[in-house]
Amino acid sequence: MSDSLNASRSTKVDDPPAKSGEPGRKKGRSVWSRAFRILAGFELATICLLLLFAATFFGTIEQTHVGLYQTLQKYFDMEAIFIIPELKNGKIVPLPLPGTFWVCAVLCVNMTLGGLVRIRKGWKTVGVIIAHFSMIFLMVAGAVSQLSKKEGVMQVYQGDRSDWARSYTEPSIEIYPSGDKGERVKPYVVDSEHFSGLDPDEKLTIRLPELTFDLVVTGFLRSSDLLQLSRFKEQHKGERVVDGFFLQERPRVQQEEANLTGCYLTVQDKEGKVLRELVLHYNGMGFPTPVTAMVKGKRYEFSLTRWIWPMPFEVELDKTMGEYWPGTQAPSWFQSDITKVDDGLRNQYSIVMNKPMRHEGITLYQASWAPPTPGGRPSSGFAIVQNPSDQWPKWSLYIASFGLMLHFGIKLFRFLSSSLPSKKSDA
């Protein structure tokens, strides 16, 4: 492929060399022409690929000591403009790298201009053009996934049902107003993107136009313990105490889902007068554990949880089975027989490893299985993903395979054609 690629992309079809005696024409086209040549050139492609290699190399090393979540955020998130790689002992590698998302964006432009627009078009290059298109498609799939993918986990016990999933890692603050009979009504949700990047000494004011109060988030800790002062006086090192509890930072572990977030919340009226101080802590339970406050005669519940994702259907877990590899806690296989209830319509599915259930853009994979505890029931954990580009990488590989097979097929045909002695020469 590389020979053809080189040949194709180095051939200028729309930018013939200026003839001598035509300096004006050459000068007039030079800015756009040079910009185009740079953007479509091999040099840029090579730099992008080297940068991607370096980011992948350092990211792989860094992942071993900070974990997958933090590495993905640092190296591959759209907000990562520059990366300073770090080694295990905290040593900084003096090699600032551009964020991988943006390198891929530049490579995408480069391949579009160089591999689709600038390339010589003809039956000899059609396979290469298809292969280039597949690579661009793959990078677009990654960008779409980065921008719009939602994922969470749904845990269901055999015989139970569920209509919600919870994010593995992203926190959210929820505020439940009370209904007329004291029941919960639809909660207001503050998404993690607003506060998950806060440092402990930063504060964030959350305006709630539909409510009679606003909130101020302070002391946000990505990984914390909630301790009761009366029981843990010796561990108290001057942290703020609210309702007899204080938050203590603890080292962030590699598995991000195991980090328990915490923060302090100040309820204040619209003029900024403090009405109530609260402490919130995520505890990983399968039920809400909010704290409450009366604000202007009305009761509200406040909780810090992982982002809750309502599903457009219910899942009933009819039966779940599984086995572990001998002597390990790694499942060798598992299967869940479920009934999907969608607007009264019941459909049955079997979800097994690598055979998910798909429904209107939402995919349920079986991610975990737990055997019954004594007297209890087994359970299944379903990873739920909503990603418009879910299947695009697969299609991209099919397209790339087709393009390369076509290209090499044409090359082979041409080689064989030129190698075979013609009848005329035989005679």
Partner 1 sequence: MVTGQRDLVLWDRAYPSNIKDSAPEEWRRVPWTQMRYYNYRFGAKEDGEVWLSVIPSQGDDAVLQNVNRWYNQFRMPEITELGELKQEPMLNVTGYVVEAEGVYHAGMGAEPREDSKMLAVAIPYSTIIVTVKMVGSPAEVEAQRDNFLGYCQSLDFFNVAPAKEEDRVQKPEKE
Closest-CA residue to 277 (of 259, 261, 295, 260): 295
**Least Cβ distance, residue 177 to partner 1 (angstroms):** 9
Dihedral sign for Cα 222, 223, 229, 233, please: negative
Residue 305: Cβ within 10 Å count: 22
Residues between 318 and 377 that touch partner 1 (CB under 8 A): 318, 339
Q: Closer to partner 1 at the Cβ: 19 or 207?
A: 207
Near partner 1 by CB under 8 A: residue from 33, 162, 218, 268: 162
* Amino acid in the structure at residue 92: I
Near partner 1 by CB under 8 A: residue from 86, 170, 277, 301: 301
Single out the segment in contact with partner 1 by CB under 8 A; choices: 115-123, 285-293, 326-334, 361-369: 285-293
CB of 164 closer than 8 Å to CB of 311: yes
Near partner 1 by CB under 8 A: residue from 160, 202, 269, 342: 160
**Crossing angle, helix 392-419 and helix 126-148, to 10 degrees?**
170
Map residues 179-218 to x or -, x wherever contact with partner 1 holds by CB under 8 A.
---x-xxxxxxxx--x-----------xxx----------
Closest-CA residue to 267 (of 239, 238, 243, 237): 243
Single out the segment in contact with partner 1 by CB under 8 A; choices: 38-46, 140-148, 156-164, 383-391: 156-164
Near partner 1 by CB under 8 A: residue from 45, 138, 260, 293: 293
| Residue that the structure tokens 């190296």 belong to | 75
Rounded Cα distance, 200 and 141, in Å:
35
Rounded Cα distance, 7 and 176, in Å:
64
Q: Closer to partner 1 at the Cβ: 197 or 288?
A: 288
Map residues 219-238 to x or -, x wherever contact with partner 1 holds by CB under 8 A.
-------x-x-xxxx-----
Q: Closer to partner 1 at the Cβ: 142 or 290?
A: 290
Q: Closer to partner 1 at the Cβ: 285 or 427?
A: 285
Rounded Cα distance, 409 and 403, in Å:
10
Strands (E) across 250-360 are located at 262-269, 274-281, 291-295, 298-324, 331-342, 345-352, 357-359
CB of 122 closer than 8 Å to CB of 284: no
CB of 131 closer than 8 Å to CB of 404: yes
In what side-by-side order are the strands of the sheet with 150-157?
Answer: 150-157, 379-386, 362-370, 357-359
Does the footprint of partner 1 cover residue 25 (CB under 8 A)?
A: no
**Least Cβ distance, residue 35 to partner 1 (angstroms):** 41
**Least Cβ distance, residue 164 to partner 1 (angstroms):** 4
420 SS3 class: coil
Which pair of tokens denotes residue 63? Answer: 């992942």
Q: Closer to partner 1 at the Cβ: 308 or 410?
A: 308
Near partner 1 by CB under 8 A: residue from 1, 39, 135, 164: 164
Size of the site for partner 1 (CB under 8 A): 55
Which pair of tokens denotes residue 215? Answer: 């909130």
Near partner 1 by CB under 8 A: residue from 138, 265, 280, 351: 280
Rounded Cα distance, 259 and 284, in Å:
10
**Least Cβ distance, residue 235 to partner 1 (angstroms):** 10
Q: Closer to partner 1 at the Cβ: 141 or 280?
A: 280
H/E stretch holding 155 = strand 150-157
Residues between 53 and 72 that touch partner 1 (CB under 8 A): none
- Strands 357-359, 345-352: parallel, antiparallel or unpaired by DSSP? unpaired
Which pair of tokens denotes residue 378? Answer: 């087994």
Rounded Cα distance, 124 and 65, in Å:
48
Near partner 1 by CB under 8 A: residue from 291, 351, 362, 364: 291
328 alpha carbon, distance to own chain's centre = 30
Single out the segment in contact with partner 1 by CB under 8 A; choices: 19-27, 38-46, 112-120, 314-322: 314-322
Q: Closer to partner 1 at the Cβ: 148 or 283?
A: 283
Single out the segment in contact with partner 1 by CB under 8 A; choices: 22-30, 42-50, 116-124, 161-169: 161-169
Q: HSE (CB half, 13 Å, CA atoms) of 64?
A: 10
Near partner 1 by CB under 8 A: residue from 9, 118, 132, 281: 281
Near partner 1 by CB under 8 A: residue from 290, 322, 356, 378: 290
Q: Which residues bind partner 1 (CB under 8 A)?
A: 157, 159-164, 166, 172, 176, 182, 184-191, 194, 206-208, 226, 228, 230-233, 243-245, 279-281, 283, 285-294, 299, 301, 308, 310-311, 316-318, 339
